[in-house]
Structures are given as C-alpha cells and as structure tokens.
Structure 1
Amino acid sequence: MGVIDSHTHVIATDADRYPVDPIGGRQSTWSVEHPVDVDGLLAALDEAEIDRAVVVQASTVYGHDNRYLADSIRAHPDRLTGVFSLDALAPDAVDRINHWQDQGLSGFRLFTTGTTMPGQADWLGHEDSYPVWECAQAQDIPVCLQMTIEGIPALQRILEQFPRVKVVLDHCARPILSDGPPYAEARGLFQLAEYPGVHLKVTHRALQAAGEGASTVDDFLAALLAAYGSRRLIWGSNFPAAAGPLSGLLADARSALGGLDPADAANVFGGSVANFYALREQGPQHV
C-alpha cells in the first residue's frame, strides 16, 4: 500500500466558470494567498511520491457548488477521490447526495466550523438533518465532519440514531490537548471510540495541538492508538490550506509519527483511508 492523502483541496483558475460562493460569506485567506488547482495538486502528489489523494470540497471557497471538484475527479479517477459539500438541512439534501454520488464523488462533508466560521454551528444533530444520516447509513456513504469538540454531544446523538454510519472527523475535531494525559479536556473525543464507525484525521492541526502545554505527540498518539487502533486513524495533509509544499507536510507527519510500528504506519498513511473510502487496494490490518 502506497501513501494516500485523505485531505487535500483544489481551487480553479477560472473564476467565471467556477464562481466563489463560500459558506458563511467569507472566502478563506489561504485560498486567496496560495491556491492550487487540480494540475498543481497532481504535480505536488508526484513530487511527494503520494499515490492517491482524497480531495475535499473547499467549503470556504465554493460552498455547496461541487462542480469543480466533480470535474477534477472525473478527469483523474485513478489518482483522486472526491468528497462533496452538503447542506444537511436543505429539503432536497438527499437528492443532492444522489446527484453528486452519480457525478463520481464518494462521500459528503458537513462544514460546521472553520477559520472563516469560528465556533460550533448549532445545527449539527438537528432532526431536519436525519434524512441525510439515514441515507448515508443505508448506502454506506462516508461522512466527513468539520467540527469542534463542542459538537461531540450532538454527534453522539446522531450516532445513537444511526449506529452504522461511517464518519471521519477533520483535525480530530480540533481538541484541546494542552492539559496532557489523560486528556480530560478532550474526554469526548476518546468516548467517541465506542462507536465503530468513527475515524479521526491526524493532520498538522491535530499534531500541533498535541505538542502544546503538558502534551506531547507521542502521548497523544499512544492515547489514540489505545482508544481507536490504527485502522481508524487517517493521515491528511490539508494541502494547500496548510502552508508549505506537500512533500514537506508529509515529511513532518512522518517525523512526528515516527514512533509508529510499520504496520500501524501503513494504516495511518494509506490503509485506513483506503478502507474508509473503499478504494481498491487495502492496507494492513494491525490493531
């Protein structure tokens, strides 16, 4: 199993064909200052020697207009897998899921927080979103959640209603880790491990938080492995939202996670995301 990046973005150069319409009304700074289109992403993947990437809709650029994402995936299905953005409260949300899945995309993203929308949106877990979760569970569609740790009680309510749904939390739900082991401030994150469909993206944001205060990356990683096992931990670069070359982001992650044994590392850097998105190759299955 080669390396698979679970969290990248693409920004079109043609703003007339793909107009900006960010969730929350404000475009993200990174997408203005250092955007990368699909050709740039492919070049970065080649330079970093990354086999495949999951492209997550740039919600702070295009909102729920997933056309550039779909066009990018359609042009490069051998290298890229796409996750579309969705308004979970829209009356036609299930129709939108079916539409974008038919366009070749492989899961949807719910955006409830971010640099342009700080805090935790209160609609997560609203009953009006239940048809979306029911659809995801029935069709085995992966869900990507951009949320904070404050949203965990709402997510727990959802998982009680839809226990077979598969969810991956961007940036490990942005936990507070500075108190160090046993990570009382992030207790909810570890409690989510009881739901077998919950997976975590171990990104630069999560690793940065793990090195603050009384915490170390090794301590946080040990706690994650004890709770989730490596089959539910997924590396993502967040390129190009994260500054710097993709090859550097991968090198930094490999260095930070250097304590992983080879089988666990193979899962985190490829196998787990292959399993989550049902990609053809499967990674090692080491707990």
Structure 2
Amino acid sequence: MTIDAHCHVIAVDRDRYPRNPLGGVESAWSQQRPVGAKELIADMDEAGIDRAIVVQASTAYGHDNSYVADSVEQYPDRFAGVFSVDMLAPDAPEQLAHWVSRGLQGARLFTTGSTMPGQASWLSDARLHPAWEWAEENNLPLCLQMRPEGIPALRELLDRFPGVKVLLDHAARPDLTGGAPYDEARELFDLAQYDGVYLKLTERTLVSSTKAPADPESFLGRLLLDFGAERLMWGSNYPAAEDDLPTLYERSREVLGFLPAAAREQIFTGTADRLYPVWAGS
C-alpha cells in the first residue's frame, strides 16, 4: 500500500466553494491546474497510490475547509483530511473541534508560501497556546508550512507542548545550496531531538536535494540517520507540483531508491498510516 501524505483538491465549482485565499492572493497553481476529488482518485489509480492525506489549500480557500471535508466524507476509504483554522482566534479550540467533528484528522498552520513569501512572525504569538494545548490533549497532528527562520519559535512551542505531533511540510524548506555537510540546515537536523517532529519529503525537498552541489544520498541519508524512517513520509504536493501524479510518484521512488526496503516502506506507507489511523481495520 502507498499513502500520499501531502496533496490538495480544488473544486471547479466556485459558487459552492468560493475562493478566499490567505493573504488575499490566490495561488497560480490552484487557478491553472485545479484537480477535484474525483479527478484525484483517478490520478491516484493511474499512479498506483492507494490513499492520500488531502491538505487544505490555504492559498485557495483560506480557513474554509468545506471542500476538504466534503471530499473526505465522499471518499472515506481513499482520503484523510487536514484542515486549517485561525490559530490566533479566541475560539480556535472550538474551530479545531468543529472540523474534527466533520471527520478531518489533522490541522495545518500556514506561515509562508508562494503567495505569502517570508516567514510569518505569529508563530511566536502566545495566542497560539490554547489551540496547541487542545491539539496536545486531543492527539491532533499539526502540519506546518514554514521556513527555517521559524524553527526557533517552533522549538519554544515544542518545549511547551511536548505531546504535540508536528509535521513539517516540505521538511521546512531547508537550504541545501552549500552541499554536505549541510551547515545551513543545521537547525532542521537539531529538531530530531524532539520525538514528535516528523518531516514530509515532497517534490520540493526531493528535487532540491538532487541539485548540485547537494548529494541526495548524503542529505536524505542523514535525515534517515537523525530522524529515522519512522518520522519521514512522502507527499507528492500534487497538483501544486507541476508534473502529473504518476511522474511525481515514480521520480520520488527513484530518488529514494537507495534506501533500504524497510525504510522506503515507512516513508511511503507506515509513517502516515500511524499518524492518521483513519483506515485502521479497513
């Protein structure tokens, strides 16, 4: 079984699912290559991917998670869902509870992206604490779209809420331009000391790791050594990534092909299955 731990769905129907992107600017990819839930299923079937974690498209829908929730409800045997809320809002815990009641299994904090460059400073805002406390008490995984500049603020949150499982989208976009020993990514490797930190290896991370002077085996091998395969997972980032899903999946398997079979099984299946055990017993 293969699980895509990071993909998106975009509805063609803008009346039922109006766009309301964070920052007020809709991402180019969501306008140019929208892929709906039914189409994503077909693409998964073509690629040989069994299940997917559908992550809220923040640059299309902001905090309105209706389409993700409806997609998971329609295809519960194929999708789990990750939603987004305003984590600074006074009622953030109630918002988290609402979307969990809709059948979604994780939440996302969007602090940077193609339409919101740089690293947002609100990750260090104390108003986040009630939402993080709720996530810790309710075992709700939190994935973060962030840059390395946000790691100090993240560490403060991890120290305060050690029980929260944190998934870093695109492995927090590390800077690999200097090559081995990847001194620019030192803060990312330091996060391995926190047992609750997991990394998503998406097209963005895997492609950058293969560009000179970075060595894919030394960088990805170090991730395996420091974090362990049990805290790494693969995600296509489709359709934000430009290629079709079969190509993204095949290329990722090629890049990670040097890893032991047991490690690949964790990255492509086991880690996501443990974090989002929605399909247990199916």
TM-score range with shorter-chain normalisation? over 0.9
Q: Cα distance, 1:61 vs. partner?
A: 0.2
CA distance in 2, matches of 1:267, 1:180: 26
Q: Is the 8 A contact 1:145 1:170 kept in 2?
A: yes
- Cα deviations by residue, 1:172-205 (Å, 9 ceiling, x for unpaired): 0001011122211011100000000000000111
After TM superposition, the structure 1 = structure 2 runs for residues 54-69 of structure 1, keeping only pairs within 5 Å, are 54-69=53-68
Say which structure is richer in helix.
2
Q: Cα distance, 1:215 vs. partner?
A: 1.1
Q: Is the 8 A contact 2:77 2:279 kept in 1?
A: no
CA distance in 1, matches of 2:229, 2:138: 25
CA distance in 2, matches of 1:103, 1:42: 21
User: Which residue number in structure 2 is paired with residue 77 of structure 1?
Assistant: 76
Q: Is the 8 A contact 2:176 2:182 kept in 1?
A: yes
User: Which residue number in structure 1 is paired with residue 95 of structure 2?
Assistant: 96
Runs of 4+, deviation exceeding 6 Å: none
CA distance in 2, matches of 1:70, 1:96: 14
CA distance in 2, matches of 1:29, 1:129: 29
Residue aligned with 1:17, SS: coil
Q: Which one-letter code corresponds to 1:135 in the other structure?
A: W
- Cα deviations by residue, 1:251-285 (Å, 9 ceiling, x for unpaired): 00001111011110000001111011124459xxx
CA distance in 2, matches of 1:71, 1:197: 29
User: Which residue number in structure 2 is paired with residue 5 of structure 1?
Assistant: 4
CA distance in 2, matches of 1:198, 1:125: 17
User: Which residue number in structure 2 is paired with residue 175 of structure 1?
Assistant: 174
Residue aligned with 2:124, SS: coil
Q: Could you tell me the TM-score, scaled by structure 2's length?
A: 0.98
Residue aligned with 2:123, SS: coil
Count of aligned pairs: 281
Which runs of 5 or more residues in structure 2 are unaligned? none
Q: Is the 8 A contact 2:178 2:214 kept in 1?
A: yes
2:267 matches 1:276:
no
User: Which residue number in structure 2 is paired with residue 285 of structure 1?
Assistant: none
User: Which residue number in structure 2 is paired with residue 221 of structure 1?
Assistant: 220
Q: Is the 8 A contact 1:94 1:131 kept in 2?
A: yes
Which runs of 5 or more residues in structure 1 are unaligned? 283-287
Q: Cα distance, 1:213 vs. partner?
A: 3.6
Q: Could you tell me the TM-score, scaled by structure 1's length?
A: 0.96
- Cα deviations by residue, 1:63-101 (Å, 9 ceiling, x for unpaired): 000011111100111100000011110111110000000
C-alpha spacing 1:104/1:281, structure 2 compared with 1 (3 Å):
closer
Residue aligned with 1:258, SS: helix
- Cα deviations by residue, 1:98-147 (Å, 9 ceiling, x for unpaired): 00000000010000000000100000021100011101111100101000
CA distance in 1, matches of 2:110, 2:179: 28
Q: Is the 8 A contact 2:174 2:188 kept in 1?
A: yes
User: Which residue number in structure 2 is paired with residue 139 of structure 1?
Assistant: 138
Q: Is the 8 A contact 1:175 1:209 kept in 2?
A: no
User: Which residue number in structure 1 is paired with residue 207 of structure 2?
Assistant: 208
CA distance in 2, matches of 1:107, 1:12: 21
Q: Is the 8 A contact 2:69 2:81 kept in 1?
A: yes
Q: Cα distance, 1:23 vs. partner?
A: 0.2
Q: Which one-letter code corresponds to 1:245 in the other structure?
A: D
- Cα deviations by residue, 1:222-255 (Å, 9 ceiling, x for unpaired): 1101110000000000000101210110000001
Q: Which one-letter code corresponds to 2:25 in the other structure?
A: R
After TM superposition, the structure 1 = structure 2 runs for residues 187-266 of structure 1, keeping only pairs within 5 Å, are 187-266=186-265
User: Which residue number in structure 1 is paired with residue 165 of structure 2?
Assistant: 166
User: Which residue number in structure 2 is paired with residue 109 of structure 1?
Assistant: 108
Q: Which one-letter code corresponds to 1:72 in the other structure?
A: S
CA distance in 2, matches of 1:8, 1:17: 21
